[in-house]
Homo-oligomer: A and B are copies of this chain.
């Protein structure tokens, strides 16, 4: 019988839990709302319940499972198996999630920052398959990342390595959610893109973005749709987005010298609109020797990367 792992992707809005085999096939999947406001105890109860639910649906018991992997929002304390204080999980402070889950299930439990788990998943089953030096980057409301070096996860001392979204690209730049100023995330995330759009609209720029958004808040998809229609302001925004992405990628390239970078997250829906600018800017700014053998591509696992990543922790060789 093939080995089976359970993966739990703990997010601010939902808990997604799967069972997966060693080849990366999803056997079962369930989603529960996190209801983060209810605090850690109730959330952890739902996480436990989701594991039993997945097992029940597959008619498996805990002894059939090689282990449980958990992807958690950072920051974490890997050495002590604790979730520190993720901004999207109110009330969590230094929660010993690893030992709580080990006690409950009495099988091996693994825990990593969600972007690191996703990097492992793409490295084992997706766009980074077989690549020994690999970086996964997710660009959505924020920018996160995970690094694989010589085939292993690059954790750092506390499990918080490769926080690439919080690398400064302009120390005089806009304030970031993390408190720092000029982080890559503050320039190139979906949140930053819509902020730039709103600022332009408020300063009087005429743009189709306003019509497309209608009564809603401006979203990244409105910007990309308007740019596709030829809207000048939206095109400027998308061009800048490509530029900022390229600046940050050059930092990633100089910092990690990866052989491949895979980019996932919501913004990749508009891949063709920023890809060429992004790569051109990256190549202009990074050290030539570090881009010579580099490939940049779209991630492959889509929205399941969270749960697949969590389950992958069980199969990743330390």
Residues of A within 8 A of B (CB): 74-77, 84, 132-133, 149-150, 152, 154-164, 166-172, 178-182, 247, 250-251, 254-259, 284-290, 292-294
Contact residue among B167, B247, B259, B286 (Cβ-Cβ distance under 8 Å from A255): B167
Contact residue among B156, B179, B180, B257 (Cβ-Cβ distance under 8 Å from A157): B257
Which chain B residues border A154 with CB–CB below 8 Å?
Answer: 149, 154, 256
The minimal Cβ–Cβ distance linking A317 to chain B, given in whole angstroms, is 12
Given contacts A287-B163, A289-B74, contact A257 B155 (CB under 8 A): yes
Nearest chain B residue, comparing its CB with the CB of A252:
B255
Assembly of this chain: how many copies?
A: 2
The minimal Cβ–Cβ distance linking A42 to chain B, given in whole angstroms, is 24
Tell me whether A250 and B169 are in contact (CB under 8 A).
no
Nearest chain B residue, comparing its CB with the CB of A171:
B247
Measured CA separation A154–B84 after assembly (Å): 27
A-B contact pairs, 29 of them (CB 8 A): A76-B289, A77-B289, A132-B157, A133-B156, A149-B155, A150-B155, A155-B257, A156-B290, A157-B293, A158-B257, A160-B287, A161-B255, A161-B257, A162-B255, A162-B257, A163-B254, A163-B257, A163-B287, A164-B254, A164-B255, A167-B251, A167-B255, A168-B170, A168-B250, A170-B170, A170-B171, A180-B284, A180-B285, A180-B286
Which chain B residues border A159 with CB–CB below 8 Å?
Answer: 257
Main secondary structure of the interface of A (DSSP, over half): loop
Given contacts A155-B150, A285-B180, contact A169 B166 (CB under 8 A): no
Measured CA separation A160–B291 after assembly (Å): 10
Measured CA separation A180–B290 after assembly (Å): 13
Measured CA separation A284–B156 after assembly (Å): 20
Nearest chain B residue, comparing its CB with the CB of A165:
B254
Nearest chain B residue, comparing its CB with the CB of A79:
B293
Which chain B residues border A259 with CB–CB below 8 Å?
Answer: 157
Which chain B residues border A170 with CB–CB below 8 Å?
Answer: 168-172, 182
Nearest chain B residue, comparing its CB with the CB of A161:
B257
Measured CA separation A294–B150 after assembly (Å): 24
Which chain B residues border A254 with CB–CB below 8 Å?
Answer: 163-164, 166-167
Which chain B residues border A152 with CB–CB below 8 Å?
Answer: 150
Which chain B residues border A84 with CB–CB below 8 Å?
Answer: 289
Tell me whether B75 and A160 are in contact (CB under 8 A).
no
The minimal Cβ–Cβ distance linking A253 to chain B, given in whole angstroms, is 9
Tell me whether A158 and B255 are in contact (CB under 8 A).
no
Nearest chain B residue, comparing its CB with the CB of A285:
B180
Tell me whether A156 and B256 are in contact (CB under 8 A).
yes
Ordered nearest first, which 3 A-B pairs have the shortest CB separation? A156-B257, A75-B289, A157-B259
Which chain B residues border A132 with CB–CB below 8 Å?
Answer: 157
Which chain B residues border A162 with CB–CB below 8 Å?
Answer: 255, 257
Which chain B residues border A181 with CB–CB below 8 Å?
Answer: 285
